[in-house]
Amino acid sequence: MLDLSNSQARRIFLDRHRLSEAPQGPASGGDLLEMIESLGFVQLDSINTVARAHDLILFSRRPRYRPQALKNLYEQDRALFEHWTHDAAVIPMRFYPQWHLRRQRDAKRLRQRWSKDRREGFEKQFQIVLDQIRESGPVCSSDVGKDEKRGSGGWWDWHPSKTALEYLWRSGALCVVGRDGFQKRYDLTERVLDQHLHDPENAPHTEEVINWCCDQALVRLGFATHGELAAFWDHITPAEAKHWCLAEQSAGRLEQVQITSADGSQRLAFARPGLDEDPALQNAPTNRLRILSPFDPALRDRKRAERLFGFTYRIEVFVPEPQRTFGYYVFPILQGDRLVGRVDMKAFRDEDVLRVRALWSEGNIRWGKARQTAFEGELDRVKRLAGVDRVEFEDGWLRGSAQQHLG
């Protein structure tokens, strides 16, 4: 059985997430699409303390990236579509048929769930909403159900027509064709996509989707448990992924490997044969320091990040301020094959400044002059994405070790 050291496991993992290579190169059109296809998807998030998650994910790999490039791919070129993995994401359009099973399962699951915990009557709005879009063109949620009582706007209190829009999108009758601000704009799928993409007769069978999901997740993870394979796209169940792994192992197309964690413990995972000859094992990741989104694909699975990097992280957006350990929206910092720190910072665009409030180093990382210079260089790049011209450090911004705060 292949036994990967922690350093080797990190190299494989960072390589698959496009974080080993130097952050450089073109970042629009086909080059940007290739990057997104390599990652599989890019999670969308509305929080904009510095930049939105999807923008920082792409920027951290290609600093020439600007948000308009993603908007062009999505809204003009129709090279991407929006749907769900573990959360809302933009996904390469050529993967659209593989979401047929997800749309089928969402149709059943959401109808059962939302009939219980959403406002009554959303199912009655299906045809009304579809007719309005057919006659008037794409709509946002504010364009439908104008005579319906508006609630707080939270997901738990959508008005019936808003719920109908979301259901029709998640189940496939509608596509999201863009966003106004961060508000989704919906149109009829039949009017947006080529028929071969959305025709149910062309849809892959369940077994084909399970095979695609597991195989393509493994391509992007390098090694994984069956649970991690199931969670990557979040279409299939762990039981379905486990069955696939055992069948592939029996056929000699998959083998078990032993992965050493940051704390020295070991864990079994599956990998394709030949992982010990993977080129990534011979290539040390770039030493360029970069700031990552909390929703970066490499950090989405918090438990996996903790095992591989010894990096304990949780997003504290929904934690009351007095109870936060670090801050509202804290960014991990990657250098080489280590997560070396986390930074609480925010762009104050009315003041034209990116303000660093606090930084904590990780483990036994020393925050010396060379690392500070590298950090300031990254801040200089990030400020351009944030749309400000200056960087400021608050008094007492260097806070010591994160592990001391974690207890």
- pLDDT at position 403 is 76
- Residue 105, domain member (yes or no): no
pLDDT score of 183 more than 60:
yes
Mean pLDDT of the chain: 93
347, two tokens: 């762009």
331 contacts 294 by C-beta, under 8 angstroms = yes
What pLDDT, on the 0 to 100 scale, is given for residue 271? 98
CATH number for position 182: 1.10.10
CATH assignment of the domain containing 400 = 3.40.630
Contact 81, 93 (CB under 8 A): yes
Residues 302 and 389 in one domain: yes
Is residue 326 located within the same domain as residue 387? yes
Both 38 and 169 in a single domain?
no
H or E, element range at 83:
strand 80-84
Q: Same structural domain for residues 248 and 165?
A: no
> What percent of the chain has pLDDT above 90?
84
Which band of pLDDT confidence, cut at 50, 70 and 90, is reported for residue 150? low
pLDDT (0 to 100) of residue 196: 86
% of the chain exceeding 70 in pLDDT: 96
Do the domain assignments include residue 109?
A: no
Q: CA 404 to CA 154: how far, in whole Å?
A: 36
Specify the pLDDT at position 117: 62
pLDDT-derived band at 145 (thresholds 50, 70, 90) equals confident
What is the per-residue pLDDT across 286-320, written as a single tens digit (0 to 9) for each?
999 999 999 999 999 999 999 999 999 999 999 99
Q: What is the pLDDT of residues 41-55, one digit of tens each?
A: 999 999 999 999 999
3-state secondary structure of 265: coil
pLDDT of residue 119: 56
Q: How far apart, in Å, do the first and last CA atoms of the chain sit?
A: 37
End-of-domain residue from the set 281, 301, 324? 281
Q: Is the residue at 319 inside a domain? A: yes
Range 354-379 average pLDDT: 96
The overall longest dimension of the chain from CA atoms, in Å, is 65
Distance (Å, rounded) from C-alpha 37 to C-alpha 32?
A: 9
Which helix (H) or strand (E) segment is 177 a member of?
Answer: strand 174-180
Mean pLDDT (whole number) for 90-97: 97
* Structural domains in the chain (count): 3
Residues with Cβ within 8 Å of residue 201, at least 6 apart in sequence: none
Same domain, 74 and 8: yes
Identity of residue 390: R
Shared domain check, 229 and 183 = no
Is the domain of 208 the same as that of 88? Answer: yes
Residue 405 — very low, low, confident or very high, per pLDDT cuts 50/70/90? low
pLDDT exceeds cutoff 80 at 406: no
Q: What is the pLDDT of residue 152?
A: 52
272 and 301 belong to one structural domain: no
Question: Is 197 within the bounds of a domain?
Answer: no
Domain termination site, one of 281, 300, 333? 281
Same domain, 353 and 277: no
Domain boundary among 140, 164, 191: 191
> Does residue 153 have a pLDDT over 90?
no
Taking residues 175-200, what's their average pLDDT? 92
- Kindly state whether residues 383 and 333 are assigned to the same domain: yes
Confidence of residue 124 (pLDDT cuts 50, 70, 90): confident
Average pLDDT over residues 340-359: 97
Nearest alpha-carbon partner for 398 in 353, 354, 351, 344: 344
Q: Report pLDDT for 50.
A: 97
By residue range, what is the domain housing residue 382? 289-404
Closest CA relative to residue 7, chosen from 261, 223, 220, 258? 261
Pairs from 378-383 (Cβ < 8 Å, separation ≥ 24): 378/289, 378/290, 378/291, 379/291, 379/345, 379/354, 381/63, 382/50, 382/51, 382/56, 382/59, 382/291, 382/354, 383/347, 383/354
Q: Where are the beta strands (DSSP E) in 254-395?
A: 255-260, 266-271, 290-291, 330-335, 338-348, 353-361, 390-393
Tokens of 210: 């399970």
Environment class of residue 59 by beta-carbon count within 10 Å: exposed (0-12), middle (13-18) or buried (19+)? buried
Residue 112 falls inside a structural domain: no
271 and 339 both lie in a single domain: no
Asked whether residue 87 falls in the same domain as residue 141, the answer is: no
Burial class from Cβ neighbours inside 10 Å (0-12, 13-18, 19+) for residue 31 reads middle
Inside any domain, residue 113: no
Over its C-alpha atoms, the chain yields an Rg (Å, rounded) of 22
Beta carbons within 8 Å of 366's beta carbon, 6+ residues apart: none
Is 303 inside any structural domain?
yes
CB < 8 Å & 24+ apart, contacts of 259-266: 259/4, 259/9, 259/223, 259/307, 260/3, 260/4, 260/5, 260/6, 260/9, 261/6, 261/307, 261/308, 262/6, 262/306, 262/307, 262/308, 262/309, 262/310, 263/307, 263/310, 264/6, 265/307, 266/3
Specify if 110 maps to a domain: no
Tell whether the model's pLDDT for residue 7 goes beyond 80.
yes
What is the pLDDT, as a whole number, of residue 19? 98
The answer to whether the CB of 68 falls within 8 A of the CB of 309 is no
For position 55, what pLDDT does the model report? Answer: 98
pLDDT of residue 361: 96
